[in-house]
Chains A and B, each alone.
Chain A
Amino acid sequence: MRKPRGVIYGVDERPPAAVIALSALQHVGVMAIFLIYPVLIGREAGGGPDIIGNLVSISLIVLAVGTVLQALPRGPVGSGFLCQPVPTAIYLVPSLLAARTGGLPLVFGMTIFAGLVEMALSRALRALRPLFPPEVAGLVVALIGVATGVVAIRIALGVGAQNAADSSDMIAAAVTLATMVALNVWTGGALRLSCVLIGMIAGYATAAALGSLGAAGWQTLSATPWFAVPRLNELGWNFDAALIVPFAVAAVAAILKTVGNVTTSQKLNDADWVRPDMTSISRGVLADGLATTLAGAAGTSGVNSASGNVGLANATGVLSRHVAYGVAAILLVLAIFPKLGVVFFVMPGSVAGTSLLFAGAFIFVNGLEIMTSRLLDARKTFVIGFAFMGGLAVDLLPHAFDGAPGWLKPLLGSSLVLGPVSALLLNAVFRLGIRNVQKLMVDPAQPDGAAIEQFMETHGASWGARREVIDRATFNLTQSIETIVESCDPQGPLEIEATFDEFNLDLRVSYVGPPIELPERRPSNEEIMESEDGQRKLAGFMLRRHADRVAATHRAGRSTILFHFDH
């Protein structure tokens, strides 16, 4: 694994303790924004401050355990990356439904169920791999970036809140974002590493100076005890078969989001990344499901891998898994010393929202990069385009699906459910009719180079192959046909067969006639200029070098050349 440019500490590197502490603090700052979800669910169930405070403390413990589980480099659980969980909007809609109909015990019971669904499906991910091609994983990551951005702007501007952002809030937001971006772009070292934390502090200071921190925050701070022992599972669990579908759909969306986040983490750590590593993804989804199961068992709402934190790690260049252990330690301290945590929980929306917006930009661009790493034909364009626009519709037009039947509602409530599930279904539908073996006959009297290129281009796009591999294969096919036609006097048509799977692209060129030469040594410039034989040797040399493996056979007058390309 080659470390990409811009990464300061890769996943396996151990940064100095000060860097771990600073990075971990920033991560906790971004994670704390999402603690609003258990608070909302607790309120929906009619819980008082004591119950809700305990929900937050339990969430912190679960997040600490989940962060470590996800970072584990060995064993069956954990992607091995800094890819910690947070309370998630994905489980918010079904959890609010459960809170309304059966109170918190039903939320906890159904959360256990959803976690178990994730865990069970994590074992089948390898077999389901064709359903998660890179362009679908990239789409999910891009949608996560958009959804993160939408939530961020909502929080920053107070959209839908009791008090919309005023000019003081907007100034605080601008200072926060400008500080983070300026430090990230125009500085290096410690300043870039801590750009989010410094931005948060600058935003906090601006908000305090402009008097927009609000009295409620100070009241919460004074009312919160210094020390409290979290009470695990104080309310018990319940189960309702009517909620199986919404929680199962949310679990599938959570899996897709984790697939996207772990894929991004893999790509961020490896300059030579070409495809998702399903072993690490499968272990990551198992860790995510286990964390959600633990959340339900311990008495809080579901969690899911945090895209904002993956974006933060990307922005700062600190991807080390050792940061995860620092994050877990801070979360545990906050769980038992609640007063310390209030500084994060009462963070002004202007500061919290812009921090999230900063991370969202990185996630979105990562998604685009993953999507466009493959050739895209009309089928894949529809998969990506429709699913992306469907997801956007939920965020942009929240009442667009008000008239939909009740059983469809769980699918239509969140862009992170509708988008990924649509992509999954569309991808499955559009896979119909794609053959992995394609054949072409070439008339040696009229070899059409452009048509041969089109053959590779069209099928490369329908397979979702990488551009670089298709370019190499196209050259080998065109150059070999040119050489055969020019020098081998083939009798009858040339038979071309292209076979693709995610790991291999094989080209087989077969014809009646003598074999072409595939020398390992480049002919000298003089040899090339002297005769067309030198030119043919050059062609053979380039064909051999361009493929990852070549083989040539000649039997009963028929020659066959095999070009293999690793994919």
Chain B
Amino acid sequence: MELNEQQAGGVTVLQVKGRIDSTTAPMLGERLTAMLGAAKARVVVDFSQLDYISSAGFRILLLAAKRADQTTSKLVLCGVSGKVRQLFDLGGFLDLFTIAPTREEGIAAAG
């Protein structure tokens, strides 16, 4: 898994590339915890280059959403498509997160 962080008008965009499984999920968890640690943080996680996400990855996302609530931050996911979207649907996660179709729309939704 590769994580790339960028700033876009006060919004932090984290692009996740590759696979989120039980080996890589803790690394993503640590990064998201740090990003959402400050009050009123605005974070977009771009999944457009994600190949696979397991239950370990979904757990990390739930914990990140909870953290965002605690710090009144905003967490938006984008680029959730194809087989990854199917997994979000399968696990009942599509309605639990704010999901934007594109990175630009994600930044707009977070900002």
Q: CB within 8 Å of B: which residues of A?
A: 449-450, 453, 471-472, 475, 478-479, 482-483, 485-486, 522, 525, 528-529, 532, 534-536, 538-539, 541-542, 545-546
**A301 smallest CB distance to B (angstroms):** 50
Q: Which of A475, A478, A522, A538 contacts B59 (CB 8 A)?
A: A538
Residues of B within 8 A of A545 (CB): 90
Known: A482-B54, A522-B92. A529 touches B62 (CB 8 A): yes
A residues near B56, Cβ cutoff 8 Å:
482, 486, 535
Complex CA–CA separation, A453 to B18 (angstroms): 12
A539: chain B residues at CB < 8 Å are 54-55
- Residues in B whose Cβ lies below 8 Å from that of A532: 59
B71 contacts partner chain A, Cβ-Cβ < 8 Å: no
B92 to chain A, nearest CB (A): 6
- The CA of A542 and the CA of B66, in the complex, are separated in Å by 22
* Given A449-B19, A471-B83, A525-B62, A483 and B90 contact (CB-CB distance below 8 Å): no
Q: How far is the CB of B28 from chain A (nearest CB, A)?
A: 14
Contact present for A534 and B59 (CB under 8 Å):
yes
Bound complex: CA of A475 vs CA of B86, how far in Å? 11
B96 lies within 8 A of chain A by Cβ? yes
**A interface secondary structure, majority:** helix
A76 to chain B, nearest CB (A): 42
> Is the beta-carbon distance between B59 and A542 smaller than 8 angstroms?
no
Contact indicator B90/A542 (Cβ below 8 Å): yes
| Residue contact A478 to B58, C-beta cutoff 8 Å | no
Q: Whole-angstrom distance from the CB of A542 to the nearest CB of chain B?
A: 5
With A478-B21, A482-B21, A525-B62: A538-B55 Cβ-Cβ less than 8 Å? yes
Q: How far is the CB of B2 from chain A (nearest CB, A)?
A: 13
Partner of B91, one of A450, A483, A542: A542
A528 touching B52 in the complex, CB below 8 Å, given contacts A542-B87, A542-B90? no
CB-contacts of B52-104 with A (<8 A): 52, 54-56, 58-59, 62-63, 66, 83, 86-87, 90-92, 96
Which residues of A lie under 8 Å from residue B90 when comparing CB positions?
542, 545-546
14 contacts between A and B (CB under 8 A): A453-B51, A471-B83, A475-B87, A482-B21, A486-B22, A486-B56, A522-B92, A528-B62, A529-B62, A535-B55, A535-B58, A539-B54, A541-B91, A545-B90
> Closest CB of chain B to A111's CB: distance in Å?
51
Q: Is the CB of A482 within 8 A of B22?
A: yes
Complex Cα–Cα for A485 and B54 (A): 13
* CB-based closest 8 A-B pairs: A539-B55, A538-B55, A535-B59, A471-B83, A535-B55, A529-B62, A479-B54, A486-B22
Contact status A475-B52, CB under 8 Å: yes
- Determine the chain A residues whose CB is within 8 A of the CB of B51 once the complex forms: 453
Cα A522 to Cα B62 with chains together (Å): 14
CA distance A542 to B55 in the complex (A): 8
The reply to whether B91 and A453 form a contact with Cβ atoms under 8 Å apart is: no
Bound-state CA distance A364–B52 (Å) is 34
Cα distance A483–B23 when bound, in Å? 11
Question: How many residues on B have C-beta within 8 angstroms of the other chain's C-beta atoms?
Answer: 20
In the complex, which residue of chain B has the Cβ closest to the Cβ of A535? B59
B36 to chain A, nearest CB (A): 15
- In the assembled complex, the CB of A33 is this many whole angstroms from the nearest CB of chain B, namely 43
Q: What's the Cα separation between A450 and B52 when bound, in Å?
A: 10
Knowing A453-B52, A478-B52, A538-B91, the reply to whether A529 touches B19 (Cβ < 8 A) is no
Looking at the assembled complex, report how far the CB atom of B63 sits from the nearest CB atom of chain A, in whole angstroms: 6
In the assembled complex, which residues on chain A have CB atoms less than 8 Å from the CB atom of B91? Answer: 522, 538, 541-542
Q: Is the CB of A528 within 8 A of B59?
A: yes
Known interface pairs A450-B19, A525-B62. Does A475 touch B83 (Cβ–Cβ under 8 Å)? yes
A449 and B18 CA atoms in complex are apart in Å by 11
Residue on B nearest A470 in the bound complex, by CB: B83
Q: Are B21 and A449 in touch, CB under 8 angstroms?
A: yes
CB distance from A456 to the nearest CB of B (A): 12
Q: Let me know if B83 and A479 touch, CB within 8 A.
A: no
- Name A536's contact: one of B21, B55, B63, B86 (CB within 8 Å): B55
Chain A nearest CB: distance from B33 CB in Å?
13
User: Which chain B residues border A525 with CB–CB below 8 Å?
Assistant: 62, 96
B74 to chain A, nearest CB (A): 19
A475 CA / B51 CA spacing, docked (Å): 10
Q: A525-B62, A529-B62 are in contact. Are A479 and B55 (CB under 8 A)?
A: yes
Q: Give the distance to chain B from A261, nearest Cβ to Cβ, in Å.
A: 32
Residues of A within 8 A of B96 (CB): 525
CB contacts (< 8 Å) of A453 on chain B: these are: 51-52
A residues in contact with B83, CB < 8 Å: 471, 475
Q: Could you give, for residues 28-55 of chain B, a 1 whenever the CB lies within 8 Å of some chain A CB and a 0 otherwise?
A: 0000000000000000000000011011
Q: How many angstroms from the CA of A529 to the CA of B59 in the assembled complex?
A: 6
Chain A CB within 10 Å — which of B51, B54, B96 has the most? Answer: B54
Question: Which residue on B lies nearest to A537, using beta carbons?
Answer: B55
A526 to chain B, nearest CB (A): 9
Say which residue of A450, A528, A546 sits within 8 Å of B58 (CB atoms): A528
Tell me the bound Cα distance from A538 to B55 in angstroms: 6
Q: Which of B19, B55, B86, B92 is the most central at the interface, judged by chain A CB atoms within 10 Å of its CB?
A: B55
Closest-by-CB residue of A relative to B83 is A471
- Give Cα A545–Cα B55 distance, bound, in whole angstroms: 13
Kindly report which residue of chain A lies nearest to residue B56, judged by CB atoms: A535
Query: What would 12 more interface pairs be, CB under 8 Å, given A528-B58, A539-B54?
Result: A449-B19, A453-B51, A472-B86, A475-B52, A482-B56, A486-B22, A525-B62, A534-B59, A538-B58, A538-B59, A541-B91, A542-B91
Is there contact, CB below 8 Å, between B55 and A529? no
